Amino acid sequence: MESSQENLFDEAMARYQAGAAAEEILPTFLSITEAAPRQSAGWTCLSWLQLLCDQPEDALRSARFAVKLNGQDPQARINLSLALLETQSKGVRDQIQVVQKVMAFAPEMTKDLQTSIEDGLKRKPDWKALQKVKAWLDL
């Protein structure tokens, strides 16, 4: 990412972490992915925000792209799992298994995933798909 895109990304992440609504930040991540389409982190964040904003079809496209760009990112795979569940598509088990393997080989990532899932359930308490994923990952 260019410096200005990195700054935009960091600022948007800071706003999100400070409690800004997903709907408020979603347009920023749309512009980030347009400006830097080969950066998986932008697509991963965009798919998460789309899921929070009840845009599962868009989230599915974004999450698939994030995984294509970085297949080792467990958050991208969780987002893809959620989007697959939300759109009643196949392939969830494969994604969950990859996340489980990553967690086994890189246990330090588990805390970040737990934090992300807790955040999702705070922002969207009745999120059934996320509750399933949390149970499957035993987080």
Q: Give the CATH number of the domain where residue 55 resides.
A: 1.25.40.10
Residues 117-136, mean pLDDT to the nearest whole number: 97
Q: Give one DSSP letter per residue of 36-102, joined into a string.
A: -TT-HHHHHHHHHHHHHTT-HHHHHHHHHHHHHH-TT-HHHHHHHHHHHHHTT-S-HHHHHHHHHHH
For residue 127, what are the domain limits? Answer: 3-137
- Count of domains forming the chain: 1
Residue 42 has pLDDT above 80, yes or no: yes
What percent of the chain clears pLDDT 70, i.e. is strictly above it?
Answer: 97
pLDDT of residue 2: 56
Confidence (pTM):
0.94
Residue 8 has pLDDT above 50, yes or no: yes
pLDDT of residue 1: 46
- List, for residues 69-80, the tens digit of each pLDDT value: 999 999 999 999
pLDDT of residue 4: 74
